[in-house]
Amino acid sequence: MSATREEQEIQQRIFADKCRRLHTHLLNTKTLLKDIGEYNRSKWPVHYPLARIARAHEAQTAAGPTAGGSSGLRRSNSMLNSSDATLVNSLMPTPLRRSMTTDDMSEYATGSNSSGQTAATNGSGDPDAAGRLLDPSDLSVLKLDLRLSYHADSDVMGSLEESSIARLFDERLTQCEVHIDKLIARVTDKSSKILVTGDLNAGKSTLVNALIRHDILPFDQQPCTMLFCEVVDASQNDGIEEIHAIPDIQQYNRLNPLTYAVVKMSDLEDIVMENDEQYQQLKIYTKDSHGAQNQSLLHNGVVDVALIDSPGLNRDSLKTTQLFARQEEIDVVVFVVNAENHFTLSGQDFLLNAGNEKAHIFIVVNRFDAIRRKDRCERMILDQIRDLSPLTYAERDELVHFVSAHEQLAADREGTDSSEAFSRMEKSLRSFTLEQRFKSKLAPAQRYAMNVLFDMQYLAAENVAAATKRIQEINSLLREGMPKYEILLQERKESSQQSESILDGSCEEVRRHTTTHLTNTTIHLQDIAEKVAYPGILSLWSYAENVLLTMVSHLEHEVSECDRFACFTIHQARDELARLDEQRRALDSDSTATEQQNQHMLSAVPAKDEGIALLDGSMTSVTASQIASIGSISNALDTIQLELSDFVDLDFSHNWGALTSISASASLTLLASKSMAGNVVTLLRLSSTMGTATARRAMVAAAALIGIGSVFYMVSDMDATVRRKLSSRVSLMLRDEGFVQRHADRLTTETSRAVRPFVWHLQHTFQRMVEAEEHKRADHLRRRHVAQDAQIYFDELRLKAQELSNAIRSVSSNE
Ligand SMILES: Nc1nc2c(ncn2[C@@H]2O[C@H](COP(=O)(O)OP(=O)(O)OP(=O)(O)O)[C@@H](O)[C@H]2O)c(=O)[nH]1
């Protein structure tokens, strides 16, 4: 294998490796974009430095239109004195810069990059001299088009919520992904087009034939090529050699025979020479006759080259050819000059204009075999090139070649070696094609990806700073909130104990008071009855009724008194609970929210309890009527009726003094001592000691006296009997039905029912406050966790983007 072939193979391998690496890096960049998009949507709306961009913009505007470049940059940097801006700066690589090749810079200088983005630049293309962060408005690919009027304090800025920015950012990321997909398609696209143009009869067709070692294109001494003929490898047509005549190149699809006509090889010359504007272009699928596959120009495993032979330049064809050359897919323009004629006017015109589009032109000076004074010719043509295309002239060793295509074809036919000049030209063309292809297809992709990664690093640093700031804020909130939370827990515990104690104490007090009071009342019923005036024996029944009514009424009064005491106790309990509630309110910094909760709670209190609920934060008074209706103070008294026995009392023991006064004349006073009716045994004992007759007489006399005395006594003591009997009967009935216990239970229950809701309210409100505080803390912790996660995520993202950016930058170096 010759050195040339080896070098070609190496070049092709290097190029293939660049494509593969760039392809991988583009895919990785796209993965990062997807990842940020997902993170932005689900975990952390990406913090976008809107305010700083606006401030930077304002600073630039204030500096005036002439203050561009690094001075403007320094001004905007000086605004980033906040701690977060410092953090962002410290996180960015130093020096931070977009990767720009010389060519990139020229593209940037025109104000647009390959993706159509307006690229801000600091004029020099370099970072700030101190290596500080570039202006945030330097974001290019990931810059949001917010169409703001750029006023830092504008309402628009304020009203743009985080979520809206996140949504816009998400859309931007999606657009980037779509663009990267297109770039990947370009990078993986192996086709490259070489347009062969030049003066009439310069030998363009002959050159194409010589390059593919195949006499396929017709050539003649007369101008013969009348339409563009694209020669491509037959592998692009499933290996079939075929000629397609295409009326509309935009519609052409080799799989759709309606979009072209198949031309026989024998008819090719006629079509090429006599095209009457029926066809725009020919597509010639052929096989390169180079021996080894990797030597083929058309198909070498790395780049599939299409050679496009064009009509010779003249006034008619100049414009069309210029337009053709401007097409994006034309990687290389080969300009063929007839060594005998030098540059014609049309040729000069083309070269001057082509310089605007394709800085470098590959120039083949053909028919050099016909030149006798080769040095002179070479010198004259190079002088012309220097004037027409200085950049080409600067690289003339690689870009300007003096050859004879005709001789090369002859050598091929005869099987002899190619001339050295032709081989060198071929080699240069191959490497120039690969180089141009890198510039036209790989470099834009490389530049775009690096800009994406630059923006990514900037936003990642910005978000690390934002997350760090948020973590600090939350930490300080948690620190400030902790004592309050602990005090709240302690206060809740104490308040709960105190309120329960107030409730229990009140119930106990009411029970004790009711029991003592009603017990005393039942014991002293007879005293109450004595207050009723006795109208005399004739109104005894009515008197008895009055006594009974007076006792019942007194009992009712005393029960009511107990009720009032219960009300008073409830009131006191509420006052104490209200004081506890006041203390609770003092702890409630978020009183509005808690009051709303109170209202909510109060509305949930059953209607029955409304009378004792807190209204407007103050206690309502409680009346006895609010205590559950007494109804009947005693079931037994409801049905009590006077009985005859209430008027007769055979038990004298309770008032012996009265009886003795009535029977003072009786001689047997002593005998009647103690209980007369109950001491028959004593009488019998006396009779036995006094003798039978005497005793019998005495007994009769005594009996008579007793009888008379008793009747007298009963009549005279009838009112006392009534009082005594009735009070005794009522007391007995009340005791039997558990009067005292029932009222003590009732009032204790009522007290509990009246006070309990306040206790619950207090405890419930405290619980709400504790829960609200716990909720707040939990929310802080959750937000801190999110921020910590974002801090780690964006820090890693920044490093990944940086590494990837370095890897992409290294693709353009020949490592
Ligand atoms: N002596 C000599 N003649 C050449 C050479 N190359 C081409 N010719 C002759 O020049 C004439 C024109 O060649 P073409 O290949 O048709 O030239 P062209 O530029 O394609 O012509 P148009 O397409 O009509 O503009 C033919 O007669 C070729 O044989 C060369 O290297 N040396």
Condensed to tens digits (0 to 9), the pLDDT of residues 499-546 reads: 999 999 999 999 999 999 999 999 998 898 888 888 888 888 888 888
Instruction: Place 590 in a pLDDT band, splitting at 50, 70 and 90.
Output: low
Q: Is residue 4 part of a domain?
A: no
| Ligand 1 neighbour 370 (Cβ under 6 A) | yes
Whether residue 98 has pLDDT greater than 50: no
Q: What is the pLDDT of residue 146?
A: 64
| Ligand 1 neighbour 411 (Cβ under 6 A) | no
| Ligand 1 neighbour 755 (Cβ under 6 A) | no
Give 303 Cα–ligand 1 centroid separation in angstroms: 28
Whether residue 696 has pLDDT greater than 50: yes
| Ligand 1 neighbour 344 (Cβ under 6 A) | no
Q: Is residue 486 part of a domain?
A: no
Contact 75, 57 (CB under 8 A): no
Whether residue 658 has pLDDT greater than 80: no
| Ligand 1 neighbour 406 (Cβ under 6 A) | yes
Q: How far is CA 558 from the centre of its chain?
A: 69
| Ligand 1 neighbour 25 (Cβ under 6 A) | no
| Ligand 1 neighbour 204 (Cβ under 6 A) | yes
Instruction: Place 757 in a pLDDT band, splitting at 50, 70 and 90.
Output: very high
CB under 8 Å to 520, separation ≥6 — which residues? none
CA pair distance 205, 215, nearest whole angstrom: 9
Amino acid at 354: A
Q: Is residue 783 part of a domain?
A: no
The answer on 220 and 355 residing in a single domain is yes
Best CA proximity match to 581, nearest among 546, 554, 616, 608? 616
Q: What is the pLDDT of residue 807?
A: 94
451 versus 157: the higher-pLDDT residue is: 451
- For the stretch 52-89, pLDDT in tens is 666 666 666 666 554 443 333 333 333 334 455 555 55
| Ligand 1 neighbour 100 (Cβ under 6 A) | no
- Cα distances from 630 to residues 317, 468, 571, 624, in angstroms, run 120, 69, 19, 10
- In whole numbers, what is the pLDDT of the chain averaged over residues? 76
The answer on 641 and 517 residing in a single domain is yes
Instruction: Place 356 in a pLDDT band, splitting at 50, 70 and 90.
Output: low
- For the stretch 117-175, pLDDT in tens is 333 333 333 333 333 344 555 677 787 766 554 444 455 554 556 778 888 889 999 99
Number of Cβ within a 10 Å radius of residue 585: 15
| Ligand 1 neighbour 224 (Cβ under 6 A) | yes
Instruction: Place 651 in a pLDDT band, splitting at 50, 70 and 90.
Output: low
> Residue 407 CA: which ligand 1 atom is closest?
31
Instruction: Place 552 in a pLDDT band, splitting at 50, 70 and 90.
Output: confident
| Ligand 1 neighbour 521 (Cβ under 6 A) | no
Contact 259, 206 (CB under 8 A): no
Instruction: Place 460 in a pLDDT band, splitting at 50, 70 and 90.
Output: very high
Q: What is the pLDDT of residue 84?
A: 52
Q: For ligand 1, atom 8, name the residue with the nearest CA.
A: 203
Whether residue 486 has pLDDT greater than 70: yes
| Ligand 1 neighbour 321 (Cβ under 6 A) | no
User: Between the ranges 87-96, 423-432, 499-508, 696-705, where is the mean pLDDT highest?
Assistant: 499-508
Whether residue 100 has pLDDT greater than 80: no
Instruction: For ligand 1, pick from 216, 219, 228, 338 the residue to mutate: most ligand atoms within 8 Å of CB.
Output: 219
Question: If you average pLDDT over residues 255-278, what whole number do you get?
Answer: 86
Q: What is the pLDDT of residue 717?
A: 74
Weakest-pLDDT range from 107-121, 177-191, 547-561, 655-669: 107-121
| Ligand 1 neighbour 312 (Cβ under 6 A) | yes
Q: Would you mind telling me the total number of residues written for the chain in this entry?
A: 815
465 versus 655: the higher-pLDDT residue is: 465
Question: If you average pLDDT over residues 103-107, what whole number do you get?
Answer: 35
| Ligand 1 neighbour 339 (Cβ under 6 A) | no
Give 406 Cα–ligand 1 centroid separation in angstroms: 7
| Ligand 1 neighbour 709 (Cβ under 6 A) | no
Q: Is residue 130 part of a domain?
A: yes
The answer on 595 and 465 residing in a single domain is no
Whether residue 805 has pLDDT greater than 90: yes
Q: What is the pLDDT of residue 252?
A: 92
- For the stretch 713-740, pLDDT in tens is 666 778 888 888 888 888 988 898 899 9
| Ligand 1 neighbour 367 (Cβ under 6 A) | yes
The answer on 283 and 164 residing in a single domain is no
Give 178 Cα–ligand 1 centroid separation in angstroms: 47
Instruction: For ligand 1, pick from 201, 344, 402 the residue to mutate: most ligand atoms within 8 Å of CB.
Output: 201
Q: What is the pLDDT of residue 650?
A: 59
Instruction: Place 223 in a pLDDT band, splitting at 50, 70 and 90.
Output: low
Q: Where in the sequence is the domain holding 587, given as residue range(s)?
A: 493-777
The answer on 592 and 544 residing in a single domain is yes
Q: What is the pLDDT of residue 12?
A: 75
669 versus 697: the higher-pLDDT residue is: 697
The answer on 292 and 161 residing in a single domain is no
Whether residue 699 has pLDDT greater than 90: no
CA pair distance 444, 99, nearest whole angstrom: 12
> Residue 366 CA: which ligand 1 atom is closest?
31
> Residue 370 CA: which ligand 1 atom is closest?
1
Question: If you average pLDDT over residues 247-256, what whole number do you get?
Answer: 90
The answer on 469 and 378 residing in a single domain is no
User: Which helix H or strand E contains 44, and what residues bound it?
Assistant: none
Q: What is the pLDDT of residue 586?
A: 85
Instruction: Place 692 in a pLDDT band, splitting at 50, 70 and 90.
Output: low
Give 335 Cα–ligand 1 centroid separation in angstroms: 14
Whether residue 368 has pLDDT greater than 60: yes
The answer on 703 and 686 residing in a single domain is yes
The answer on 673 and 552 residing in a single domain is yes
Cis peptide before 390 (omega within 30 of 0): no
CB under 8 Å to 623, separation ≥6 — which residues? 567
Question: If you average pLDDT over residues 188-198, what whole number do you get?
Answer: 86
Q: For ligand 1, atom 9, name the residue with the nearest CA.
A: 203
CA pair distance 487, 766, nearest whole angstrom: 12
The answer on 632 and 759 residing in a single domain is yes
Q: Is residue 61 part of a domain?
A: yes
| Ligand 1 neighbour 205 (Cβ under 6 A) | yes
Edge-to-edge order in the sheet of strand 228-233 = 261-263, 242-246, 281-286, 228-233, 304-309, 191-198, 330-338, 362-366, 400-402
Give 214 Cα–ligand 1 centroid separation in angstroms: 15
CA pair distance 52, 56, nearest whole angstrom: 6
CB-facing half-sphere around the CA of 81: CA atoms within 13 A = 4
Instruction: Place 23 in a pLDDT band, splitting at 50, 70 and 90.
Output: very high
> Residue 202 CA: which ligand 1 atom is closest?
19
Whether residue 689 has pLDDT greater than 80: no
Weakest-pLDDT range from 180-194, 291-305, 375-389, 751-765: 291-305
CA pair distance 454, 104, nearest whole angstrom: 15
CB under 8 A, 24+ apart: contacts of 153-159: 154/54, 157/50, 157/51, 157/54
Instruction: For ligand 1, pick from 205, 222, 369 the residue to mutate: most ligand atoms within 8 Å of CB.
Output: 205
Q: What is the pLDDT of residue 13?
A: 82
The answer on 499 and 467 residing in a single domain is no
Q: For ligand 1, atom 23, name the residue with the nearest CA.
A: 225
- For the stretch 597-645, pLDDT in tens is 554 443 333 333 333 333 333 334 445 444 544 556 767 677 777 777 7
| Ligand 1 neighbour 221 (Cβ under 6 A) | yes
Instruction: Place 2 in a pLDDT band, splitting at 50, 70 and 90.
Output: very low
Best CA proximity match to 249, nearest among 316, 182, 329, 179? 329
CATH number at residue 346: 3.40.50.300
Instruction: Place 319 in a pLDDT band, splitting at 50, 70 and 90.
Output: confident
Q: What's the total number of domains in the chain?
A: 3
Task: Phi first, then psi: give them for residue 607, nearest 5 degrees.
Answer: -50, -35
DSSP 8-class letter at 646: G
CA pair distance 20, 332, nearest whole angstrom: 22
Bridging pattern class, strands 191-198 and 304-309? parallel
Contact 409, 372 (CB under 8 A): no
Contact 349, 318 (CB under 8 A): yes
The CA-CA-CA angle for residues 652, 657, 659, to 5°, reads: 55
Question: If you average pLDDT over residues 662-681, what whole number do you get?
Answer: 38
Helix (H, G, I), strand (E, B) or coil at 345: helix
Beta bridge partners of 401: 364
DSSP 8-class letter at 722: H
Structure tokens, 683: 């009488």
Q: What is the pLDDT of residue 313?
A: 85
Whether residue 706 has pLDDT greater than 60: yes
Weakest-pLDDT range from 31-45, 322-336, 658-672, 697-711: 658-672
| Ligand 1 neighbour 228 (Cβ under 6 A) | no
Whether residue 361 has pLDDT greater than 70: yes
Give 260 Cα–ligand 1 centroid separation in angstroms: 28
First CA to last CA distance, the chain: 24
| Ligand 1 neighbour 747 (Cβ under 6 A) | no
The answer on 657 and 568 residing in a single domain is yes
Q: What is the pLDDT of residue 132?
A: 34
Whether residue 22 has pLDDT greater than 90: yes
Structure tokens, 709: 């005395």
Structure tokens, 288: 């390169």
Give 242 Cα–ligand 1 centroid separation in angstroms: 24
Bridging pattern class, strands 330-338 and 191-198? parallel
Q: What is the pLDDT of residue 607?
A: 36
Q: What is the pLDDT of residue 382?
A: 94
Q: Is residue 482 part of a domain?
A: no
Q: What is the pLDDT of residue 291?
A: 56
Q: Is residue 801 part of a domain?
A: yes
Q: Is residue 480 part of a domain?
A: no
Amino acid at 489: L
Contact 48, 172 (CB under 8 A): no
Q: What is the pLDDT of residue 129?
A: 32
Contact 406, 203 (CB under 8 A): yes
Q: For ligand 1, atom 32, name the residue with the nearest CA.
A: 367
Q: What is the pLDDT of residue 698?
A: 66
